[in-house]
Structure formats: C-alpha cells, structure tokens
Amino acid sequence: MARKQEQRSEETKHSILQAAGQLFRERGYDAVTMREIAKAAGCSHTTIYIYFKDKEALLHQLSMAPLQDLFAEMQACLQDPSLPVDEKLFSTSWSFLRFCLKNRSMYALFFMTKSSRVDEKEPAMELQKLRNEMFGLLKEAVIAALPAPLTEEQAWAFARVYFFTLHGIIGTYAETEEPYEQLIERVGPTFELALRVSLAGCKQIAQEGDGSK
Amino acid sequence: MARKQEQRSEETKHSILQAAGQLFRERGYDAVTMREIAKAAGCSHTTIYIYFKDKEALLHQLSMAPLQDLFAEMQACLQDPSLPVDEKLFSTSWSFLRFCLKNRSMYALFFMTKSSRVDEKEPAMELQKLRNEMFGLLKEAVIAALPAPLTEEQAWAFARVYFFTLHGIIGTYAETEEPYEQLIERVGPTFELALRVSLAGCKQIAQEGDGSK
Amino acid sequence: MARKQEQRSEETKHSILQAAGQLFRERGYDAVTMREIAKAAGCSHTTIYIYFKDKEALLHQLSMAPLQDLFAEMQACLQDPSLPVDEKLFSTSWSFLRFCLKNRSMYALFFMTKSSRVDEKEPAMELQKLRNEMFGLLKEAVIAALPAPLTEEQAWAFARVYFFTLHGIIGTYAETEEPYEQLIERVGPTFELALRVSLAGCKQIAQEGDGSK
Amino acid sequence: MARKQEQRSEETKHSILQAAGQLFRERGYDAVTMREIAKAAGCSHTTIYIYFKDKEALLHQLSMAPLQDLFAEMQACLQDPSLPVDEKLFSTSWSFLRFCLKNRSMYALFFMTKSSRVDEKEPAMELQKLRNEMFGLLKEAVIAALPAPLTEEQAWAFARVYFFTLHGIIGTYAETEEPYEQLIERVGPTFELALRVSLAGCKQIAQEGDGSK
DNA sequence: GATGAATGAGAATTCATTCAT
DNA sequence: GATGAATGAATTCTCATTCAT
C-alpha cells in the first residue's frame, strides 16, 4: 500500500533532482530559481523544501554523490597494477573530463569556488576536501608518469601544469550547450591530443633539467 | 560655455566607467549594483543611465576598448619581424594572460559567454567577433612556432590544445582575490613552465606524425 | 477490538496535547509549528487535524482544562472556612501566580487576548468567561480581606489594583526562560512582598476613606 | 527647487513612520507586514527600504526618540527640587504610564524583550540600556519616597514591587484598542489609586521592619 | 545634464492546512 | 484512524530601472 506513495515520493524527489541538475547545468546555479526548478519538476516550489533543506542542499545533494563516484573511479584506476603509468594518467584524466563535461556548468561550483574560509559551513568543507583529494590523485598520476626524480616543488609545478590543460579543456566548453556525446565526437580527439601534448611536454622539460624556472 | 559642460560630462562618464571597471574587476559583474557604481563614481545612480542604456551596456563599453587594446598589442607583437617565433607565441600568451588575470572576474564574461545565438543583440556579437579574432591570432602564433607543415585540421587542433593551457591557467585563478602582482610572483614561473611545456609537447607530437588522431 | 483502537486513539490525542502544551509553554504559541508538535508527539502532523480543527483549537483545548483546574483550586481555597481572609487572598494569589509562571509564554494568550469582539467565535468566549470568573474570585478575596464596607465601585477599584500587582509580577517575568523553580527561589520573596505591600496599601487607603478618587 | 523634493521626501518618510507606528501600536510589530505599512503610507513597499534599512530599523527609529523623550521627562521631574518626594514618584510614574499606554502594543517590544544576549546587535543594546536607566530612575524615586534607611537589597525589592504595579497597569490594558483619552477617563482614577496603594503599602511594610523576607 | 524619489518584478523560504491513500 | 505528499499564501528584502523636477 505504502509502496505506491513511497514510489511516488521517490519519483518526485528524483524529478526535482533531475530538473535542478539540468537547469543548473544549463544556466548555472545562481540563475536558476526554486520556482523554475519546481515548474520543471512538475511540482510546487514548496515541495522542494520537503526534500531539500534549501537551494544549497539541493546542489550539494546533486554534487557529492557523483563526485564521490568519480573519485572512487579515479582511485581504482590508479591502483590497478596492470596499467602502465601513462595509461593511468590518461584514464583518470578522461574520467575527470567526462564527469566535468557532463556536469559542465556545475563544474565551476565544484572546482572553482573560492577556497572556503576555515569557518565555512560543513558541506562546503566536505566538497573542498574531496576536490583537494582529487587533485592529489592527479598529481600522483602525473608524477608517476614522469621519469626523473623530481623535487617536491617540481612535482607540484608539473602537476599544476597538467591540471591547467584539464581545466582549460573543461572551461572552454563549460558554457556550451552541445550535448556531451556530440561534443566528444566533435572534439574528443583534440582532448586526447591535449593530454598527450601535456604529458609529452612535461616529460621533455623534466628531462631537460629543472622544472620550475 | 558648452565646452566646459561637455568636458564635465565627459569626466562624469569617465569616472563611471572607471568605477564600474574597478568594481567589476574586484567583485564580478553580477555582484556589483548600479548604486555602488554610482557611489564610487561620485554621482547619482540615475546619472549612469544618461550615459549607458543599462548595466550590460556599461559592461560592454568597458570591455571593448581594453579588449581591442589587447588585440592590438598581440597583433603588434606577432608582426614584429625581429622576434623569433617561440618568443612571439610566449609574448602574446603573456599579454593575454596578463590581461585576463588583471580582469579576472570579468574574464568569464569576455571569453566564456555562451556563443551567442544568432538572434542575439549586436553588442554581444561584436565581442564574440573580437574573441574569435584573438583566438585566430593565437592560432597563427602557434602554427608559426610549430615546425612541420600542418593540415588545417592539425593546425586547429594544436591551437586549441595550446589555448587549453592558457584558459586553464586563467580559470584556475579566476576566483582568487589575490592581487595580480602577488599572484604573478607566486605562480608566474609555473605559468611560464606551462607555456613551455605546452609548446614543447606540441612540437614533439607534431613531429611524431599526425597530430589529430 | 474497538476498545483497543479507541484507547490508542485516546493516547495519540493525549500525546499531542502533551507535546503541544510543553512546546507552547517553552517557546510560545506562535513560535511552535504543527510539525514540531507532531514530531514531539510521535505522530504525523496530519494526525493532529484529526483531533483538532486547527492550531487554535489545539490551544483552546489545552487551555481550558488547566484553567478550569486553577479556577477550582482558587474556589476551593476561598471556600475553606478554616483560613483567615488574608491567607485566602495570598493563597489564591499564589495559585494564580504559580499557574501563570509555569505557563508563562501562554499567559498572554490566556489573559491578555483582546477582549473578543461580540461576533467572535465561541471558544474564545468560553475562555473569556472563565477569565472573568477568575477575576471575580480574586475580587471577592480582596474585598473579604479589606475591612470597611466598600461601595461596589470601590470594591472593583481595589480588586483591580490588587490584580495589577499580580499581572505585573507575571508580565515582568513572562519572557524569561529561567525555569520556574529557579525563578521562585530567586524572586519568590519579592513576589510575597509585593502581595503583602498591595494588601497593606489597600487596607490603609480603604480606611483613610474613599478609594476611588 | 530642490526644496520641493526634499519636502516630499520628508513627507513620505513621515507618513511611513506614522503608518508603521499606528499599525505597530494597533496590531503589534510582528503582525504587521512591510507591504501593509507601505499601503497605509501610500507608497510602495520598496520605498520603505529607501528610508529604513529594514523592519527592525523602522521600529528602532520609531522607538528611540519617544523613549528618550520620556526618559528626559522623568529625569527632569526627579531633579525638580520644588516637588515633594511622593509627588516626584507619582509624576514620573504617570509619565511612564502615559507613554506606555499611548504606545500600548509596542510596550512589550520596549520593555519585555528578552534581555538581549551580550553579543546582540547594537540597536537592541541601546534600547536595553535606556530601559535599565529608566528602571533605575524609578528605583531612585521609590527609595526617596520611602522613609527608613534601606539596605540595597530592600531598595531593589521595593522598587520591583512598585514596578510590578506599573507593569501590571500597562499590561492589563496593553491589548485594548480603546483610545488613550477614553481609557484614562474610564480607569485613570484606578491607576491613581494603584500608585497610592503601592506606595502606602511599601511605606508601611518598610517601617514594620525588614522588606525583603 | 543631473538627481532624489519611487517602483515592480522577483528572490528564497516558512507554515498551516488539505488530499489521496 | 493515520499518514506522506503536496500546496498556496505570505514574508522580508534586493535590484535595475524610470519619473518628475
């Protein structure tokens, strides 16, 4: 009996999340109003507040799970002993790119929010922590793929450089409304090239000598 | 008589632009209110509407001139016959980086606005045109710095790849409030490294053979 | 079968009343939401509407019984032939004070609601009637404690005067969150003093002659 | 030229204050909405925000001046050397009563707000300070009118007791909508009586011996 | 040319209450 | 009898913008 209601509730919640996700992605978090989300989800705006504390909670819900999945995916790849280091880097990079491009206009919210002040509320902290861990993962992958022994400083520098490429790719297409599949079909090879270029460049410069100056 | 008035009028307009520019740069377009601009410019908020149709027009006015200057600067550099190709690329890259990092919070508005729909109003078009021309400039610089003869497709690809790096650098620090000088002091060398890595990588991959597939 | 249900139903109703009572007392009628009451009562907020027409009805139900108890208590005290008149007055006063201070944040709702307009709904009338009767009781107690024969007008006047003291005591501490026991410990003697002062003053002025002008 | 506008502005501000004051008095601060105030003042609700930061500021503006006037009035009376002590007490009491009854439903806001936590915002502090000073004034007046030398504790006790009467008077009629004049005509003598009773009682008990236990 | 006054549209959020199950 | 789902009405407050002078 209750099943039906429960299911309906789940559907509503889902449609809210879906609507919010899509709208956030399409137009950005700030530009979207609760009423728009409600309309798109086919419910009253008050209903949203039944399922989510506030607009931010909606975003958080929408963010954390997928981000954690992404993190797990990247981690798993890096721990796979059967893959060569270059493959590991490219594979994790693609995981990251795929995720970010699929969640384009929320990308900024995930990765570009001002490093929250220490006293910030918990949810933001959680996100930031995850973000840092993810960057740490990429850094390790970059270091592993580079040959010579690097100073810590050099390691940071190359990691940043490699990250610039990823960040640049995503940022460039962050505002596009082109569907993910189509986008990948169109410029996927260029992304691939960018990753290869970045790694090749890092390797070369790293061998030439110092990597920070 | 009229002269004096005219001059004063010009001054007011100028102080509005100056104030708006500074505020936009400091806190971002959206976060700044017309009243704040007016207060900073030392005039009434209604006065702004005498000189500018609306907030967006103010932004546009504020954007075009600097962007055109930037464009001219990049163009001049590329046309300088005394510079080696690598230097040309790095130099224009730095012009671009410098400008974008100085105008951080407006960067998104300049370069990441959704490619305006066809029916969009004129001002946006104008901006987009300039943006495209600037990208064209960078593309030429990249191509010139690469050795082999490239197909048009390859040229585009490498240009994009190089641009990802620039975009990535800027995007990474777009939300920082760190003053420009300090930022450069802190991570300027990493930026330099990134440019060198990107070019080195492009060169290498370009030589290896095909650069798009 | 029916018995069991009936009993459970009664339990639910009771736990709602209990929860509402406590919350109203703790935080005031307005500040408490139906959902909070429901949560505290361990049922759904819709359930409340099965037993009570609306929030106001809940309050009314919650008020009448205790107020009637208070009334009975006061009445019993006054009818006790073994007590001296002063004691009767003080004792009923303390009953009243005790009740009001324990129900502080609802005090205003009980005794300070605008004298309901004639067309008001029934429940409010009922409450007001009780309130008036209670005031009548106090009036009788005051009169009994005063020596001389008083005109009706004088009686009213002294009763009011005495009531001002009671009202003042309660009102002064109506917004405090201090627990009742602690409050009494701290300022109970002052309350006692106030009652004595008021009575002594009334006696003296009553003897001096006229008590209304 | 500007005069006319300035005057109009002043009028608007005044009508807002007047409307707000009346509505607050009639129905209480919380129950009144900004839109109602605006409607009553004959302007848009946004206009209110031009003149007052927020609803609370409106209240504060509406409160402080009159309260300060009242305080000054009470102080002046107490410092008048030509008045006997009893007269001083009665006169200040009447000032207080008059003010509170005229501002009835705001009375609670002025005098019954929870003693604000220390970290509270400034305006509330200011009000509380004034409130305390006013109570201090009354306390001095009470002490001056009482004969014997009192311990500090006794002084406080009698002051509180006397204040209960004032508070009780006001509280009793706080919710009435009866116009001030009419109210005074009807029960003014009773108020007078209450003051006399309270003082007489205090004097008597104070003489009898200890006044705190 | 310049301005203070004034506004309408719209934002997030909360709450008592009703409906279908 | 009991409930979860859902809602409409309301609240404070903000902002770009337009008049009347």
| Domains parsed from chain A with CATH numbers | 1-53 (1.10.10.60), 63-208 (1.10.357)
Measuring from the CA of residue C53 to each C1', which nucleotide is nearest?
E17
How do residues D123-176 score in pLDDT, each as one tens digit? 667 778 888 899 999 999 999 999 878 899 999 999 999 999 999 999 888 877
Percent of chain A residues topping a pLDDT of 70: 90
B198–A200 C-beta distance less than 8 A: no
Taking CB atoms within 8 Å and a gap of at least 24, the contacts of C206-211 are C206/C146, C206/C147, C206/C148, C206/C150, C206/C154, C206/C158, C207/C147, C207/C148, C210/C154, C211/C150, C211/C154, C211/C157, C211/C158, C211/D193
Cβ neighbours around A150 below 10 Å, total:
19
Question: With 50 as the cut, is the pLDDT of residue A117 above it?
Answer: no
- For residue B47, give how far its alpha carbon lies from the nearest alpha carbon of chain A (Å): 28
Contacts of D14 (CB under 8 A, 6+ apart): none
D55-CA/F21-C1' distance, Å: 30
What are the chain D neighbours of C190 within 8 Å (beta carbons)? 157, 160-161, 212
Over chain B (213 residues), what is each successive 10-residue block's mean pLDDT? 67 90 86 92 92 89 88 94 94 95 79 54 73 91 89 92 95 85 94 96 85 43
| pLDDT the model gives residue B208 | 81
Cα distance between residue D17 and residue D11, in whole Å = 10
- At A190, the pLDDT band (50, 70, 90 cuts) reads very high
CA distances from D26 to B50, D31, D103, D107, D175 (A): 45, 10, 9, 11, 9
User: Looking at residue B92, what is its pLDDT?
Assistant: 96
Residue of C nearest to D190 (CA): C157
Q: Which chains touch C (3 or more CB pairs under 8 A)?
A: D
- List CB contacts of D156: < 8 A, sequence separation 6 or more: D139
Q: Report the C-alpha gap between C11 and C16 in whole angstroms.
A: 9
pLDDT for residue D113 is more than 80: no
Rounded Cα gap, residues A193 and B202, in angstroms: 9
Tell me chain C's radius of gyration from C-alpha atoms.
20
More confident residue, A20 or B175: A20
Task: Output the pLDDT for position D31.
Answer: 87
Show which of residues 146-205 on chain A sit within 8 Å of chain B, judged by CB atoms: 157-158, 160-161, 163-169, 171-172, 174-177, 187, 189-190, 193-194, 196-202, 204-205
- Residue contact D198–C201, C-beta within 8 A: yes
**Average pLDDT, integer, range A52-72:** 89
Among D168, D196, D204, the residue with its CB nearest the CB of C164 is D168
Measured CA to C1', the nucleotide nearest C47 is F2
Rounded to whole angstroms, the distance from the CA of residue D13 to the C1' of nucleotide E3 is: 18
CA distance A8 to chain B (A): 37
State whether residue D21 is helix, strand or coil.
helix
Residue D118: predicted pLDDT: 46
Hey, are the CB atoms on A160 and B204 less than 8 Å from each other?
no
Query: What is the distance between the alpha carbons of residues C186 and C189, in angstroms, rounded to a whole number?
Result: 8
Name residue, tokens 């919070």: B105
Mean pLDDT over D101-116 rounds to: 71
Q: What is the pLDDT of residues C31-60, one digit of tens each?
A: 899 999 999 999 999 999 999 999 988 888
Q: How confident is the model at residue D8 (pLDDT cuts 50, 70, 90)?
A: confident
Average pLDDT score over residue span A81-93: 95
pLDDT of the residue at A22: 87
Protein-proximal positions, strand E, CB < 7 A: 1-21
**CB < 8 Å to B209, chain A:** none
Chain F: nucleotides under 7 Å from a protein CB?
A: 1-21
Which tokens hold the place of B55?
């907030």
Distance between CA C190 and CA D159 in Å, rounded? 10
Residue whose pair of structure tokens reads 């729909």 in the numeric block: B117
User: What's the distance, CA C129 to chain centroid?
Assistant: 13
3-state SS, residue B213: coil
Tell me the CA–C1' distance in angstroms for D32 and F10: 12
Tokens of C152: 């009706």
Q: How far is the CA of C178 from the C1' of E13 (A)?
A: 31
Contacts of C113 (CB under 8 A, 6+ apart): C124, C127, C128, D175
What pLDDT was estimated at residue D114? 57
In tens, the pLDDT along A172-189 reads 888 777 889 999 999 999
DSSP string for residues in B104-147 = HHHHHHHH-S----TTS-HHHHHHHHHHHHHHHHHHHHHHHHS-
3-state secondary structure of D115: coil
Residue lying closest to nucleotide F3, CA to C1': C44
For chain C, the straight-line distance linking the first and the last C-alpha, in angstroms and rounded, comes to 69
- Token pair, residue B62, equals 């504020």
Report d(CA C127, CA C63) in Å as an integer.
8
The answer to whether residue D4 scores a pLDDT higher than 80 is no
So what's the pLDDT on residue C177? 78
Chains C and B touch (3+ CB pairs under 8 A): no
Per-position DSSP letters for A108-174, written without gaps between them:
HHHH-S----TTS-HHHHHHHHHHHHHHHHHHHHHHHHS-S---HHHHHHHHHHHHHHHHHHHHHHT
Residues in A closer than 8 angstroms to B212, CB to CB, are 189-190, 193
* CA angle (B104, B110, B114) in 5-degree steps: 125
Q: A112, B171: Cβ pair inside 8 Å?
A: yes
pLDDT in tens, A122-174: 666 777 888 889 999 999 999 999 987 889 999 999 999 999 999 999 988 88
Where is pLDDT greater, at C136 or B110?
C136
Q: Compute φ and ψ for B43, nearest 5 degrees.
A: -140, 180
Distance from residue B43's CA to nucleotide E6's C1', rounded to whole Å: 18
* Selection from C69, C213, C92, C73 nearest residue C154 by Cα: C213
Of the pLDDT bands very low, low, confident and very high (cuts 50, 70, 90), residue C5 is low
C-alpha–C-alpha distance, residues D80 and D7, integer Å: 39
With CB atoms and an 8 Å threshold, state whether D190 touches C157: yes
Per-residue model confidence (pLDDT) at position C129: 85
Q: What are φ and ψ of residue B116, in 5° steps?
A: -60, 140
Contact state of D171 with C171 under an 8 Å Cβ cutoff? yes
Q: Any residues with CB less than 8 A from the CB of B35 and at least 6 apart, and which? A: B45
What Rg value do the Cα atoms of chain B yield, rounded? 20
Residues of D in Cβ contact (< 8 Å) with C187: 160
Q: DSSP label at A30?
A: T
Do residues B172 and B191 touch, judged by C-beta distance below 8 A? no
For C34-64, letters b (16+ CB in 10 Å) and e give: beebbebbebeeebbeebbeebeebbbbbbe
Contact, A39 CB vs strand E, < 7 Å: no
- The answer to whether A164 contacts B168, with C-beta atoms less than 8 Å apart, is yes
Distance CA(A172)–CA(B131), nearest Å, equals 13
User: Could you write out the DSSP letters of every residue in B2-57?
Assistant: HHHHHHHHHHHHHHHHHHHHHHHHHH-TTT--HHHHHHHHTS-HHHHHHH-SSHHH
Residue in chain B nearest A168 by alpha carbon: B168
